[in-house]
Structure 1
Amino acid sequence: MKKKLRKYIILPLLAVLWLCGCGKKEETDTETVYADREKNQELADFLIAYYQIPEEFCTETRYYYDRVDLNEDGTEEILAVVVGEYTECDGGDPAVILEQSEQGYQVLERFAYVRTPVYVSDTMTDGWHDLIFPAYGGEEGTGFRVFHYQDGIGYQNENMEFMEDMDENFCGKKMIADNFIDDMDKGNYLTLRETPLSGN
């Protein structure tokens, strides 16, 4: 009788402890954010001019973007990645961090190539959130490139780190987490220029 009673007490207790543990884990889970699907032709035009993309490539070149307040000043920056035959390289796709004002877009940082998703860490350096990009192959090998902002220089400085595995205690956002291959198959993406309708 005591064994049965103990069983009925312990099992619910374990369930409660498990739920509490999951609750704690949820607090540190990464927030997954997919790219904005609203067409932004002003941004597309800027990217065409900035990367000097020939018109014949524009209808096939995709762009993914979203907004995030990287320096906690109350104004969101734009993170944009350009994906296409003309701009791609072995290390990934080019990306920019932009500031938007009435005068247009200003490039705050440019990356020659990145892999997605982009991890925006809750940890900040010199007032800006750390950025983490997956890395595949190359001199560094497979892992993650960690960029710490440096006042007066930006994200690309000698403080860049490389880690083989993502920190289990990572807290932050996983942005532009879209599956580029799946999007391509489904036609679920934005291009710098719309494909003209046949007959026009």
Structure 2
Amino acid sequence: MRYLILCLSFVIFGCSNQADLKPDLQQSVSEATQENEPVFSTGYADLNGDGLEDAVVFLKGMQWCGSGGCTLMIFENLGDSYQLISKSSVTSTPISVAKTETNGWKDLIVWSRGSGLVLMKFNGEQYPRNPSLEPAASEPQMLEARLILE
């Protein structure tokens, strides 16, 4: 009987869609922040169109937040691990994924104190380090965007 249950569980749980599989994000964030247990919120979206959900990590705590906002990190899902792609300061929620893309990556809409909702475009290597210097997101961009972090 145990053999039958084991076989059934493999059939049920062993055949999952690769897009649903997520590597250990906690480990990747710990390595990037040099902290054992960093505190963060996460939103997931396929930012680069490869079918894998990348991680949008909003760090929390005194080390990562100041009067202008907190640190935002973008991790690319490589299938078996996450790789840090981008790190931005002075960012706040809400964070949304726009329908538009730049250089093969979805644009992000984030709240930046003093600037409001701004559009962050991927430059081919990373997203902007300081969102407060980016242009405001347009109303159509905001309406079409998908909220991933509140």
Report the TM-score, using the length of structure 1 for normalisation: 0.53
| TM alignment of 1:3-152, pairs within 5 A | 42-53=24-35, 58=37, 62-101=39-78, 104-136=81-113, 141-151=114-124
Distance 1:130 1:79, change over 3 A: same
| Alpha-carbon displacement from aligned partner over 1:35-83 (angstroms, at most 9, x marks no partner) | xxxxx99422332332123x6xx4xx53111210112221221111111
Identity among equivalent pairs (%) = 24
SS at match of 2:62: coil
Q: Which amino acid aligns with 2:140?
A: N
Partner of 1:155: 127
CA gap of 1:124–1:115, structure 2 versus 1, over 3 A, is same
Whole-angstrom distance in 2 between the partners of 1:176 and 1:143: 16
Asked if structure 2 preserves the Cα contact closer than 8 Å seen for 1:44 and 1:63, the reply is no
SS, match of residue 116 in structure 1: strand
* Counterpart in the other structure of 1:6: none
Instruction: Count matched residues.
Output: 125
With normalisation by structure 2, the TM-score equals 0.69
Please list every run of 5 or more consecutive structure 1 residues that lacks an aligned counterpart in the other structure.
1-39, 178-200
Classify 1:173/1:103 alpha carbon distance in 2 versus 1 (closer, same or farther; 3 Å).
Answer: closer
Once the two structures are superposed, what CA deviation does each residue of 1:92-139 show, in whole Å capped at 9, x if it has no partner? 111211123366321111112311111211011222211111111xxx
Paired AA for residue 120 in structure 2: F
Deviations, residues 1-21 of structure 1 (Å, cap 9, x unaligned): xxxxxxxxxxxxxxxxxxxxx
- Give the SS at the match of 2:93: coil
1:169 is paired with a residue whose SS is helix
Q: Which has the higher strand share?
A: 2
CA contact (8 A) 2:92 2:110 kept: yes
Q: Does 1:169 align with 2:140?
A: yes
Cα gap change, 1:150/1:46 in structure 2, threshold over 3 Å: closer, same or farther?
closer
For structure 2, list consecutive stretches of 5 or more residues without a partner in the other structure: 1-21
Larger Rg, first or second structure (1 or 2): 1
RMSD: 2.7
